[in-house]
Structures are given as structure tokens and as C-alpha cells.
Amino acid sequence: MNRYSIINPSILIGDRSLDDQLEQVRQAGYSAVELWWPFASPNPSTGEVDAFLGTLEKSGLGLVAMNSYEGGMAEGNRGIACWPDVDSDFDSSILVAERVVRETGCAGINVLYGVRSNEESVEIQDDRAADRTARAAEMLDPAGAVVTIEQLSHIPGYGLRTIADVQAALTRARSKAARGRILIQVDLFHMFQVGDDVARFFTDSWRDIGHVQVADAPGRGVPGTGEQPIDELLDLLSAQGYERTVALEYSAYDGDDPFAWPS
């Protein structure tokens, strides 16, 4: 698997139980995972969090990154940072994330911007998302985790669709944070989809990157199934001095084995 020892099973085999997901990841030879929000609500019970942590510990896998509450992925939501009237839900999910960070060593919590409403100005929603992202960074800093933000190119109405959108959001959030670190979660698939200049971004802004997710394009398969020079780009990023995490986040595969790589 070359440089890839981390994978996101949430996107790949998320229809299976977490225990089954992690066991398959372990058997496939990976050492760590990143995960979407693993609970049904923003404020799971202590018992639910205990069970999640127990399942993760039993697997023997590390946890390097996790989404905060996304508003219900099954319903098509991708974050709540820009939504009105959800401060309690947002803060509850960050408090849960803080416990996960403290007990697992998870390095980053990803705060998704969300789909904008047509009933408020973009500026109001941008400002609200920046406030919450900054607050998450302040809450998670004592536990040692960074907050990341990312683009999503395929969700209609999502607030951050290009890397330029993410960089603008990063500036807004950092201006509001009294403490903590806010970085960018790079998803190469989305950068490829919108035609972002990955090489230039890696050269000019690598210090702003907190985590990298990898899938080829088109198709969102493993590297080598699309048309992108992924290895060359990751070599470039490493040459700049990037030493943080890189994870596979593909969803398409051929045959019966979701972990099989092209020959």
C-alpha cells in the first residue's frame, strides 16, 4: 500500500457495523482510520460514547481524524456550522469530540460548513460558520487537536466548493479564534473535480494543511484508477516539508473486495 496506512471506512463500507468496518480495515493491513461522525445525534449518551471508544480500542487501530456532527449524512446534510439556531447541537458535538480526542489521541476534528440557506445572506452565514469554527478550535486546543475545514465540490449549496473558498473561510475563522489551530483538510478528489491547481496550492500553502484525503478522479477510486498524478503530487507536498497525515477516502472499487488495489 506504499505510503497509505490510513483509510476512511465510513465512505467505503459505512453500511456495515463499526465493529465490522474496523475489523475489515485491520485485516486489510491498515494501521489507522479517519471517520465520519460515528453517532446518530450531536449529543450521544455517555454509554454510546463508551461503546464507540471500546470498539475502537478493541480494533487496535488508531484514529487520526473525525468529522464533527454533520446534521445527518443519511439525510444529505454536510455540516451545520453555517446553520442558524444550532449552537447547542454544535457545541455538544465538539464536547463529545473533545473526549474522543483525549482518549484516542485523534489529531484533528473536521468542521463541515454546511449547505447555505437562501433565507439569509452569504455574509451572515459565513460569519456564523467562522464563529463556530473558531469556537471549536478554542474548545479542542487544550486536548491537543486541530480543527480542519474542507471543500465539497458535489453538494449543491455547500458553502465551500473550491480551495479558494476554503482559504477565505480559514482567514475568517482564524481572525476570530483566541486560541487553537485551524487548518485545511485537503480532499484531492474535490480539488480535481473543480480544477483547482493542486501543485501550486501544495507549494504555496502547505503549512495550512492539517490532513490530506486521497481518491482518484474521475470516479473516486483508489490511486491509479483515474487520470490524476497523485503520487507525484504527494511527493511534491512531502518535499515542501509536510509531515501530517494522509488517508485514503475512496468509495468506488471493482469486484467484491473494497480494499483491492489495481494491479
Examine the residue annotation and report whether 249 is marked as an active-site residue of this protein.
Answer: yes
What's the DSSP call for residue 83?
Answer: -
Q: Catalytic residue at 75?
A: no
Q: What cell was used for 210?
A: 492539517
80 dihedral zone (left: phi>0; alpha: psi -120 to 50; beta): alpha
Assigned C-alpha cell, 245? 497525515
Give the separation between CA 9 and CA 34, rounded to whole angstroms.
8
Q: Which of 23, 34, 70, 249 is catalytic?
A: 249
Query: How many helices (H) and strands (E) would you count in the chain?
Result: 9, 8
- Cα–Cα distance for residue pair 257/103, rounded to 1 Å: 32
Cell of 162: 473550491
Is residue 51 within 8 Å of residue 87, measured between CB atoms? Answer: no
User: Where is 109: in which H helix or E strand?
Assistant: strand 108-110
| Spatial contact of 173 and 137, defined as CB atoms under 8 Å apart | yes
Q: Which three cell numbers mark 260? A: 483491492
- Which is the catalytic residue, given 150, 227, 232, 243? 150
Residues 205, 199: Cα–Cα separation, whole Å = 10
Residues with a catalytic annotation lie at: 150, 249
